[in-house]
Amino acid sequence: MRERRNEDLLARKRKKKIMKIKNTKKAPAEKVVAKKVEKPEEPKAPKAEKQAVTFTVHADKDKAVYVAGEFNDWDPTAKKMAYKARKGIYEATLNLKPGTYQYKFVIDGVWCADPENAEAVANDQGTFNSVVTVK
């Protein structure tokens, strides 16, 4: 019977979330019922909107042309570029979040830096990757 009372008492304490606060004057501990206080919700920063970025490269018609980079884990066949006969170029548009991305074109299996982009960085293959910055 005594065990049952102790269990009931413990259950009620848990239910009410009773906390003991220690007093530095060594006075008997006070019992306080803790109340959950909701924090005011902070406004969330707006999500960075993706920007349409168009990549273009001059290459002969009937070539297999792709763009690969950090935005698609350097997959050489992830984004095929379309040939634009009027302009004589291959073109692909990607929606990218703001940031800086390295990329290359893959033309018939050959990796090529963008010849029309002066921004480039050296890579671990001993060549250069083109760089695009999305704001």
Q: Is 42 inside any structural domain?
A: no
The token pair that represents 95 in the structure block: 């929606």
The token pair that represents 1 in the structure block: 């019977």
Buried residues in 91-124 as b, exposed as e (16+ CB within 10 A) = ebebebeeeebbbbbbbeeebebbeeeeeeeeee
Q: Is 39 inside any structural domain?
A: no
Question: Domain check: are 8 and 63 in the same one?
Answer: no
Q: Is 45 inside any structural domain?
A: no
CATH number at 77 reads 2.60.40.10
Question: Domain check: are 60 and 122 in the same one?
Answer: yes
Q: What is the pLDDT along the chain (135 residues), one digit of tens a residue?
A: 556 666 666 666 665 554 555 555 555 556 666 666 676 777 776 677 999 999 999 999 999 999 999 999 999 999 999 999 999 999 999 999 999 999 999 999 999 999 999 999 999 999 999 999 999
- Report the Cα–Cα distance between both ends of the chain, in Å, rounded: 72
Q: Write out the residue range of the structural domain in which residue 25 sits.
A: 2-33
